[in-house]
Structure 1
Amino acid sequence: MATDKVHDIMRYNYNPLDFMFAPKSVALIGASEKENSVGRTLLWNLISHPFGGTVYPINPKRNNVLGIRAYSSIRELPESIDLAVIAIPAVGVPNVIRECVEAGVKGAIIISAGFKEIGAEGVKLEQEILELARKGNLRIIGPNCLGLMCPPTGLNASFASTSARSGNVAFISQSGAFCTSILDWSIKENLGFSGFISVGSMLDVNWGDLIYYFGDDPLTKSIVIYMESISNARSFISAAREVALSKPIIVIKGGRTEEAAKAAASHTGALSSSDKVLAAAFRRCGVLQVDTIKEVFNMADLLAKQPRPKGRRLTILTNAGGPGVLATDALTWGKGELASLSDSTIEELNKILPSHWSHSNPVDILGDAPPQRYAQALEITAKDENSDGLLVILTPQDMTDPTKTAEELTKITSKISHKPVLASWMGGSGVATGVEILNRANIYTQPYPDDASRLFNLMWRYSYNLRGLYEIPSFAQSDNFIDKDLADNIITHAHQTNRTLLTEYESKQLLQAYGIPTVTTQIAETVESSIESAKKIGYPVVMKLHSETITHKTDVGGVRLNLTSEEDIKQAFEAIQQGVSDSDFLGVTIQPMINLEGYELILGSTIDPQFGPVLLFGTGGQLVEVYQDQSMGLPPLNSTLARRLMEQTKIYTALQGVRGRKPVNLAQLEQILVLFSQLVIEQPLIKEIDINPLVAGEYNLIALDARVLLYEPNTDKKDIVPPAIRPYPSQYISKITLKDGKLLKIRPIRPEDEPQVVTFCKELSEQSVYLRFFHSISYQSLISHERLTRICFVDYDQEIALVASYRNPDTDEKQILAIARLSRVHGNTEQAELGLLVKDSYQKQGLGTLLGQDLLKIAKKEGIKTIIAEILPDNIGMQNLCRKLGFTLEKTADLVTAIYSH
């Protein structure tokens, strides 16, 4: 491969949308001199804000526009074009896109309206445009959008009346009108942007593309989104999960009014809504959702200035009782907590505060507090390990000096790096200088203390969600619990009999196939067989209607409890039979009457049209819709995510033990949630499933009833919405034998592997680390949890990381011998980067070659056409390996680039 081709590939690997934000040439199709027209405004914005490139007006009716030579079509331009801005009637856009593709244009912004927002005709136009664009790898922003600005490069490819200031916030909006309002407000507030984009209909470039782009942009410190619809759910979640680790992503969602669920027959369907599902998705990928425009930019500013708190405990320091009380109310209403001051903290405060101070949190240091008292109190409370953050409130009383107090606080806060410090300087012009001093020192300020408490609550929730994503889970291996063949057969049989509703008996068998405990159940078609079953099980028993058509048995009198004799059995059987039609009655089921002392829970799943399977957990029983105590999450789950799902409900407090009642077996409940999520993922023909109730007692958890609804038997696979998060790719598990006879398991990495990866890192030489990562890394940095999350917590849509695992047959000890990784390039799903690291003691035994061969096969299955490996010149072993695998190598003085193409 030619060197210039290599450079071209590498350039767009790392800046996949640079031609949008830093173009060398821009063509404006629809340039105009007409006053107040979009075409004129666009051209004026492009030429009056130098971005270092050339602007070419396209107008077949004019020789020049605003004194600049115009061209009749993009074909006539003297050079290739990075970006085309299109502002012509919608019907003409497909032909322009065709010309752009023929001319090799890299990106287009379609300003024009008149597409899917007008109905079927507009949808047809959009599809035609998309098909044309994909033939030439042309990326599109829009249609029906305001355009974009990139203040750091000077580009203004929009028809906004004002240009954005340069700064470090990337702002992305689905509403053009919202963009202009924010733009006007930002000028007043002196807020700057690293990017300002109106995405319109998101025909091509979507949330995920832009999140990845600004995630890689060193100038961007936070990403702010105004969202009306999610579009490509998988792309959004993949990008957000990765970028949120290093940069806050703050979303305000429009259109959050809850609509009645269509699937009213399902408890889960009735309890779900698109807004709840979206909130669950945001939690799952570490996105911070806020409710107001004010909170959006307050949080962007706050997270840029202060570290995230590790917990929800806030210490409030104030010179007035009332504001401290209001701040406390706002904190506790938002489920934050007042920090409990330690004895040593109180002792230290006693030494420096007047005797009448509050002696508790909020720490009221009294109205006559001079600057030094504030500073000393802050220094002492900041050291308290019971506190996760601090709020300092100042009211301008006669003896108060807001300016000097601010100056003293900045000296203390410069030493506080592990927890956030917020300030509320209450007042107007009298405190303005103090506020300015605090802001310059990166101490976030709010005029009202209750608002500051609300922002702290948003901060700790954001931290809480991120930690949940990357805590090491404890439960991974589920194969021993699962009989997938049995589950497949149950569903196949139902479809063969042209059914979508499993019977209760089949539903329980399905749960048992996935290791979820259920009550013993037998089918009886007659009174006599019912009596026989009852004798085998032992009185008392429960009798339920056995039907392939009735959804909720209690609604038709189809459940009879505490039957203690043959006469009870006979009467119950006859009553159930008479309560339904002959076609609905297939007999009854008999099961033991279990008087479990425990809590009735619900565990369910339904299909969201954008996110696919969605899980629901919470308080169950007959009044499940009344109590409305449920949380939602996305599968697959691990033990950590299962616990987080539980923690979001009120019933979780009771499950931990309350009022003398012992806690339930939470570890088993976690395991059930994980297995249930695997059932939902591995059986995509399930449309809805409810376990209600799942009874949770001190020692046992058992599913007493279940309902499973399938897709229609003839449903096309492409009409089944896949999970928003790709599950563990077990199809890539294999086994190999080394030259020394050791049998190794090759499998995709799991979060649960982190402890083994730590051991793996311990046994690497400095040379191996240097050759793999291009620089030396200290041992502590190498094994830090923050770093290992990047290695072990894999988004399988974006990366496939294989580990070579060896189990010692004598000790049963497992160890990882090598890690090989295939990572898709941001913005180009057909390209990926290869990384490989083998433990020193297992190098030169063919392990790297075997892993490399596996990754090449996986790449083909995953639709990856080009694989790139960057290698240091002195890493001869990796260069030889790449040659053996069929890579082409291009060498420079500092780097060897290996490229493989299918």
Structure 2
Amino acid sequence: MTIRNLDALFQPRRVVVVGASDRPGSVGATVWRNLHGTFQGELFAVNPRRPALGAPVVATVEELPAPPDLAVICTPPATVPELIGRLGARGCRAAVVITAGLDAGLKQAMLQAARPHTLRILGPNCIGMLVPHLGLNASFAHASAAPGNIAFVSQSGALVTAVLDWANDRGIGFSHFVSLGEHADVDFGDMLDYLGSDARTRAILMYVESVTAPRKFMSAARAAARNKPVVLVKAGRSAQGARAACSHTGALAGSDEVFDAAISRAGMLRVHTLHQLFLAAEILARFRDNRSERLLVLTNGGGAGVMAADAAAHMGVELATLHETTVRRLDEVLPGNWSRANPVDIIGDAPAQRYVEALRILREDRDSAILFVQAPTAIVPSDEIAQALLPMAAERPPRVLGCWLGSGAVAAARQRFRAAGIPDFATPEEAVRAFSFLRQYHRHQAELLETPPAPPGIGLDLPAIQALVQRVLAEGREWLSEPEAKQLLALAGIPVTPVRCVPPEPEAAAAAAEALGYPVVLKILSPDITHKSDVGGVRLNLHDAAEVRSAASAMLQCVAQRRPGARLEGFAVQPMVQRRHAHELIVGATIDPLFGPVILFGAGGTAVEVLGDRAVALPPLNVALAEALIERTRVARLLRGWRDVPPAHRPSIHAALLAVAQLLADVPEIAELDINPLVVDAQGAVALDARVRVSAHRPGGAAHFAIRPYPQELIEVLPWDGGVITLRPIRPEDEAQHLAFLERVDPEDIRLRIFYSRRSIEHSELARLTQIDYDREMAFIATRPRPDGDGEETLGVVRGICDPDNDSAEYGILVRSDLKGRGLGRILMDKLIRYLRAHGTRRIVGQVLRENAGMLALVARLGFAIRPHPDDPDLRVVELPLQGQPPTR
């Protein structure tokens, strides 16, 4: 992941158009026309014909009067690689390659020509890009974009021009408008990194057709989504996942559901139309701080209120119930025929003061957002109502959504609301849908803050599991038999039913049933039959030996007729699990070709495909993420219990999901896994059947997770101060412990480290300190057991934040004030330096107050160079090269 030289692409001072032309209708002429007269920097052209273009034109790149920051290339495909090399040698650091038709060889040659100069390439085969606040329209789009604070990035060139036209018609402005084209170099991950820290961009909108480098994409997306809303439309909601597969979960590989799971885990929001894209941008840019789950509707029209209520019911948005006190207070200010319910209809003849009084009362429900819907009347101008409501409607944090029905009669009111930062929607349905996007966004943000461990520390006999898997692979098999699959689950800590395997003889099956006790289940054992029930290979609830013998004989005949070539290894006999009020669930795992290991949960049984009640998630998981996965299914409502049916035992479901996540992390050979059914009731869960496929290609494992799990391998125990301390990466679960640590650091020590004193620290900031993306940042804490034996305490923390290029990492360190002078700071710094060196980071840097003599002495002993800050005499810049240097120990 890299943002290197993207400033040359998006903030150029000098731009050259290579292939600029005066030929009407040509790409070179269109690009030149779009740039000439609007770009605020210097503009040059390269064309051997030297046409008169109203600006300097030279025949070759070498003749340019100054090195350009950005080149826009509009020349034939075969010329592009050589031009890139010559531009790089001339000092150019970025190029927009408009040219289409570069085959794989030419694209590779282009990238190779750019590499020695770290010249960044947007495209090829792209419309180009626009940066409106610079007047930069380096594209052949038919129109310019207005300045604004939304960035739009698209893979589709045609869509770029369509969205530009649509946005201009609605007065929507942009900070950046970018066509990625074939994204040979600059891709979505790079754009998310750049725009995520761009001060002019308040929200990022994307049109996505495909994603490459998924871990890079996920890491960049998670970083950007922490700073600002990221909303996308994903094309290709196709039926890839409906292909035939040997396991129920395996059919999900490559499916749109997996992409949805990745988006939610990254804290982004996915919508399905371009119109919804801008609805989401409107509410997230103006209303993101509102955390309400319910909606109050205030309107002057009963029909508009019904439309809002219908939309809420359809989209799963809860309308708040009016409290009796609220109804009584509204009775005092509203006419007797008001609705007396939510939606609150204050009647069409309402003067401005009636709106004000009703809104003042509804505002007291602090847990609900308020949708204000007004239809114009002849009683009072809408603009007068807007002006009267503004003092309350514009309060922060935001509470009110606006919906002015109509056009010309409400235009001034709508503009007044929008100028005050109040979200505005054309219809009640649009407003309710936008509010539903907001709730979904906040749920995804909560998932973004979860960084669970992998493995999660539950019981797993890894050596025994690996021995089992290697034995199966050594025998040339991929599918485990049912007894082997159940053995694997049991070794992972998942309860299973006991099973006895016997030869394919009815008498042997009856003898096994007698030993287990009735009733029993009889299943065929065959390496060639994955779904046993499809061939009559399962019989349930057999009560005596005669029934078992009869069922076994019938099963052999049925299998012989339906699968005459199948190899029969025998029968599996197991107790019949009979639990009143039990639920049949499915828990599974597969390897997605893009995002790697994926976990499935849903309603199970033989009708699993028909029911289609399932949800997927990316590992690693913790209990909170496992619960969120369960709640995305319809069966979750049944698991809560109803009437005389008690709630299902959720912890046992969580344990099964966490065990599967651990298997995916620790056993990379696992390619597919189905537990179906996992039977659960109020007492717990048990796996009745399982299928497991393994592969010698090792497609799984934590290394293939799209989200890097907790790096447990970095934990170490060291002697210190007459005892031992544990050095480990920080975890989300450390939030309370970290707060207690910060409360034991003197304000003066905090000032010396972060340059200002703090009286308190908010939960949101604590979350950012403890819930980190281990691909981008590392924080090591030193801990020891608490003196009272109740858990552990944090003694110090060191943090390194890498830039997207992994060129440098900025460090920060803090040691508990009562523990200074005992060498803990050096131990922490040594840990960070060793990690960053192994991580490939080139250098570690920091800024230290000149008066912080202790820190300056420490870094000097560690070999840091120390120099004055170029702009602040009170600061010192410290730097330590990491690559090619000896270890600090």
TM-score in terms of structure 2 length: 0.93
Are the aligned partners of 1:108 and 1:138 in contact in 2 as well (CA < 8 Å)? Answer: yes
Aligned pairs (5 A) from 1:172-251 = 172-251=153-232
Of residues 729, 737, 749 in structure 1, which corresponds to 2:719? Answer: 737
Which residue in 2 is equivalent to 1:669?
Answer: 653
Identify the match of residue 486 of structure 2 among 486, 491, 508: 508
Is structure 2 residue 420 aligned with structure 1 residue 441? yes
The one-letter code of the counterpart of 2:657 is L
| 2:84 is equivalent to residue 106 of structure 1 | no
Equivalent-residue separation in structure 1 for 2:457 and 2:409 (angstroms): 67
CA gap 1:319/1:135 in 2 versus in 1, 3 angstroms: same
> How far apart are the structure 2 equivalents of 1:225 and 1:852?
40
Query: Partner of 2:886 in structure 1?
Result: none
2:254 and 2:594 in contact (8 A); partners too: no
Preserved contact between residue 62 and residue 70 of structure 1 (Cα < 8 Å)? no
Once the two structures are superposed, the pairs formed by residues 321-340 of structure 1 within 5 Å of their partners are 321-340=302-321
Deviation for aligned residue 1:582: 8.2
2:589 aligned partner, one-letter code: S
Task: Give how far 1:703 is off.
Answer: 1.3
Task: State the partner residue of 1:383.
Answer: 364
Change (3 A) 1:821 1:112: same
Counterpart in the other structure of 1:479: 457
Q: Distance in 1 between matches of 2:426 and 2:16?
A: 47
Q: Post-superposition shift, 1:337? A: 0.8
The structure 2 residue matched to 1:603, chosen from 587, 604, 611, is 587
Q: Is residue 147–residue 197 contact of structure 1 (8 Å, CA) maintained in 2?
A: yes
1:662 Cα deviation from its structure 2 partner = 0.8
Residue among 8, 14, 24 paired with 1:25 = 14
Q: Name the amino acid aligned to 1:426.
A: L
Whether 1:142 aligns to 2:127 is no
* Structure 1 counterpart of 2:834: 857
**Conserved in 2, the CA contact under 8 Å of 1:109 and 1:147?**
yes
Q: What amino acid does structure 1 have at the position aligned with 2:855?
A: M
Looking at structure 2, the residues matched to 582 and 43 of structure 1 have their Cα atoms a distance apart, in angstroms, of 70
Count of aligned pairs: 873
Give the gaps of 5 or more residues in structure 2: 884-889
Per the alignment, residue 392 of structure 2 pairs with: 412
- Give the residue type in structure 2 aligned to 1:392: F
Match runs of 1:702-713 below 5 Å: 702-711=686-695, 713=696
Distance 1:536 1:101 in 2: 80
Deviation of 1:858 after TM superposition, in Å, equals: 2.0
CA distance in 2: counterparts of 1:582 and 1:808, whole angstroms? 65
Distance 2:68 2:384 in 1: 57
Which residue is 1:83 aligned to? 70
Higher mean C-alpha displacement, 805-814 vs 174-183 = 805-814
Aligned to 1:548: 527
Cα deviation, residue 702, structure 1: 1.1
Asked whether the 8 Å contact 1:311–1:463 carries over to 2, the reply is: no
Matched, 1:618 2:602: yes
1:120-159 mapped onto 2 (5 Å cutoff) = 122-159=103-140
Measure, in 2, the Cα distance between the counterparts of 1:650 and 1:427.
39
Match of 1:722 among 696, 704, 724: 704
Deviation of 1:643 (Å): 1.1
The equivalent position to 1:489 in structure 2, one of 453, 467, 474, is 467
Q: 1:65 to 1:851 in 2, by over 3 A?
A: farther
Q: Is the Cα contact below 8 Å between 1:315 and 1:389 reproduced in 2?
A: yes
Cα drift, residue 663 of structure 1? 0.5
Say whether 1:424 aligns with 2:403.
yes
Give the whole-Å Cα distance in 1 for the aligned partners of 2:572 and 2:141. 68
Over 3 Å counting, the alpha-carbon distance change for 1:114 and 1:721 in structure 2 is: farther
Alpha-carbon distance between aligned partners in 1 of 2:544 and 2:238, rounded to the nearest angstrom: 53
In the alignment, is the contact (CA less than 8 A) between 1:866 and 1:899 conserved in 2? Answer: yes
Query: Which residue number corresponds to residue 537 of structure 2?
Result: 558
Superposition map of 1:715-794 within 5 A: 715=697, 722-738=704-720, 740-779=721-760, 782=761, 784-794=762-772
User: 1:804: Cα distance to partner?
Assistant: 1.5
User: Does structure 2 conserve the Cα–Cα contact (< 8 Å) formed by 1:63 and 1:69?
Assistant: no
CA distance in 2, matches of 1:230, 1:388: 38
CA distance, structure 1, for counterparts of residue 392 and residue 790 of structure 2: 53
The correspondence for 2:822, drawn from 839, 845, 851, is 845
1:278-334 deviation digits (Å, cap 9, x = unpaired): 222211112122222222223322322234432431001112211101110111100
User: Does the aligned pair in 2 maintain the 1:469–1:641 contact within 8 Å?
Assistant: no
Q: Which amino acid aligns with 1:240?
A: A
**Counterpart mapping for 1:509-524 below 5 A:** 509-524=487-502
CA distance in 2, matches of 1:16, 1:595: 65
1:46 paired to 2:35: yes
AA at the equivalent of 2:639: L
* Greater CA drift, 64-73 or 151-160: 64-73
> For 1:358, what is the secondary structure of its paired residue?
coil
2-structure distance, mates of 1:153, 1:379: 44
Partner of 1:3 in structure 2?
Answer: none
Offset, 1:339: 0.5
Cα deviation per residue 1:188-223 (whole Å; 9 max; x = unaligned)?
Answer: 322221111111111111112111211211111111
Q: How far apart, in 1, do the equivalents of 2:431 and 2:701 lie? A: 47
For structure 1, the 5+ residue unaligned runs are 1-11, 116-121
Q: Is the 8 A contact 1:230 1:236 kept in 2?
A: yes
Matched, 1:881 2:880: no
* 1:656, distance to aligned residue in structure 2 (A): 0.8
Paired residues of 2:670 and 2:699 also in contact (CA < 8 A)? no
Once the 2 structures are TM-superposed, how far is the Cα of residue 727 of structure 1 from its aligned partner?
A: 1.6
Aligned-pair distance for 1:58? 2.6
Displacement of 1:542 in angstroms is 2.0
1:640-655 map, 5 Å: 640-655=624-639
Distance change in 2, residues 1:421/1:853 (3 Å): same
CA contact (8 A) 2:523 2:573 kept: yes
3-state SS of the aligned residue for 2:752? helix
Superposition pairs for residues 47-66 of structure 1, below 5 Å?
47-52=36-41, 54-59=42-47, 61-63=48-50, 66=53
CA deviation after TM superposition for structure 1 residue 357, in Å: 1.7
| Cα 1:103/1:452, change in 2 over 3 Å | same
Q: CA deviation at 1:99?
A: 2.7
How far did residue 530 of structure 1 move? 4.8
Counterpart in the other structure of 1:254: 235
Q: Does structure 2 conserve the Cα–Cα contact (< 8 Å) formed by 1:308 and 1:460?
A: no
Q: Cα distance 1:282–1:717, how it changes in 2: closer, same or farther (>3 A)? A: closer
Distance in 2 between residues matched to 1:697 and 1:406, nearest whole Å = 55
Match of 2:774 among 793, 796, 799: 796
| 1:469 alignment counterpart | 448
Change (3 A) 1:97 1:894: farther
Alignment of 1:802-813 (within 5 A): 802-808=780-786, 811-813=789-791
Shift in Å, 1:471: 6.5
C-alpha displacement of 1:243: 2.2
Q: Which amino acid aligns with 2:45?
A: P
Tell me the distance in 1 between the aligned counterparts of 2:701 and 2:688: 32
Q: Tell me, what secondary structure is at the counterpart of 1:41?
A: helix
Displacement of 1:480: 4.3
Corresponding residue SS for 2:477: coil
**1:397 aligned residue:** 377
SS at the partner of 1:889? strand
SS of the residue corresponding to residue 444 of structure 1 reads coil
Secondary structure of 2:134 counterpart: coil
Superposed CA RMSD in Å reads 2.6
Distance in 2, Cα, partners of 1:75 & 1:96: 10
Residue 254 (structure 1) shift: 2.4
SS for the counterpart of 2:527 is coil
The yes-or-no answer on 1:697 pairing with 2:681 is: yes
Counterpart Cα distance in 2 of 1:398 and 1:718: 67
State the Cα deviation string for residues 872-892 of structure 1 (Å, max 9, x = none): 222333333323333322222
SS at match of 1:675: helix
* 1:309–1:388 CA contact under 8 A, matched in 2: no
